[in-house]
Structure 1
């Protein structure tokens, strides 16, 4: 039953994650004076927690280089307040979803139904031990169905993400080690993309890879081993188990409807270029 949590994540995540690559978001943050790239990303995702420091952002994001975070946070808050960042982010989500899905889909019963199911699923999520989720859960709900859907998927994503960090710590993987291990698997970022997006240097990445080799999780060619695959599955299974509350509350039948609808919307977003090519294996 817990595998349904993983299927939901795979089906729904792009509905939220498209915001990180949408030109509408880049333009909105630039309009506030935020530097493109990492500063905009850090501020955009961290804004629900308020004007927190670099340590909080690095801790809650986990696999980003703290040195990279400290170059942008808390400086970003002297440029734009968290409230201004949140407003720009929501406006960008609206514009990006309308562009990629089209007005007919935005106004469809499918989006309205999917939004209500996703919103109901979030009512079973609790903030205990989940700081990034908790920050997002304190935000007001948007009124329009497509934005309600985007916000609900954001909540579900961060709820699972906070649980995933707990599973990684249980597995004794640092942020960069977890990222390096994930980059060896199908669907993970390529090492080049991971280093660029998360701010790790070649030297830091090489050290993490060596540490994974010492644990027998990757081989001499930095390919994942059977032990590495087993650990990855343990981590994902633990994350699934800690992320079941929304799906148990929604029930299997309605969760399947959400997965089906979300999968169709995600495919439409992918076909519209929501995820840049060449980032993943």
Structure 2
């Protein structure tokens, strides 16, 4: 038995809407952080403790390092780790709650949490940091905690595949845009200069993955598809059969919740 991509899309949707919440900036500024990006980098990496910017550059991969350095380590002097964690969890509860109408939240929390013990965390630092956090007492927050661990688990596996293929952060973003998997504004969103973006495109062009107009080639489509397949395999290799059974038992509930989150307009990416 393997987990379908619909399950992974669902847990990502449940997890990442906290960072897109219109209340996120205010929530993190209330505990001392400054601006949206400081809130993002600090709140997502805080599961690792109070890591230096170099660690966050390494684990996030797709962001220009200068963006991370503008936010960290200053964030750790402005707000305490406990306050950031508490603010993030409160924000998660309030943001995702509308998407769980009619969903058996208790059952979903039990199934997702039961499977976490069956994850092999070797080489998966963000997932490890999230799983190590205390499990919240309420079911909705426990779902978000588990979904966050799972999202970062596949994300860590994806990063390993990208780096093994020799694809750096800038090139990964150029390829995602060419493949229609990211917005045209991705360069600015991730902080890459025109020169860095062009250099990333040149590296892909030298492999025959994009053309002179930066559109994806047939070879690029094959390569990008293979990256996703390899990510699936790397992810599956780290999940025990028992954990797969737990996750599969509640996959339909996770998909239902994610669809309702999108339908409610909570997820601006429309995933």
Q: Classify the TM-score, shorter chain.
A: over 0.9
Q: Which runs of no fewer than 5 residues in structure 2 stay unpaired?
A: none
Partner Cα distance (2:202, 2:241) in 1: 40
Deviation at 1:156, TM superposition (A): 0.4
- The answer on 1:158 being equivalent to 2:138 is no
* Matched residue, 2:124: 130
Q: Report SS of the residue matched to 2:198.
A: helix
Could you state the TM-score of these two structures normalised by the residue count of structure 2? 0.92
Listed one character per residue, the Cα deviations across residues 241-261 of structure 1 (whole Å, up to 9, x for unaligned) are 121244732345x54443321
Deviation at 1:36, TM superposition (A): 2.0
The answer to whether the 8 A contact 1:124-1:249 is kept is yes
Listed one character per residue, the Cα deviations across residues 139-197 of structure 1 (whole Å, up to 9, x for unaligned) are 100111111111101000111111111100111100111111012224x22131x2232
Size of the aligned set, in residue pairs, is: 270
What aligned pairs does 1:1-281 form with structure 2 within 5 A after superposition?
2=2, 4-98=3-97, 100-101=98-99, 105=101, 110-186=104-180, 188-192=181-185, 194-244=186-236, 245-246=238-239, 248-251=241-244, 255-276=247-268
The answer to whether the 8 A contact 1:47-1:83 is kept is no
Q: Report SS of the residue matched to 2:108.
A: helix
Partner Cα distance (1:47, 1:112) in 2: 26
Q: 1:249 to 1:233 in 2, by over 3 A?
A: farther
Could you state the TM-score of these two structures normalised by the residue count of structure 1? 0.89
The answer to whether the 8 A contact 1:5-1:247 is kept is no
Listed one character per residue, the Cα deviations across residues 96-131 of structure 1 (whole Å, up to 9, x for unaligned) are 123x336xx2xx562211121111221111221111
Q: Which runs of no fewer than 5 residues in structure 1 stay unpaired?
A: none
Listed one character per residue, the Cα deviations across residues 10-29 of structure 1 (whole Å, up to 9, x for unaligned) are 23210011101112322210
Listed one character per residue, the Cα deviations across residues 174-227 of structure 1 (whole Å, up to 9, x for unaligned) are 0111111012224x22131x2232111222112211221111111122111121
Q: CA RMSD in A?
A: 2.0
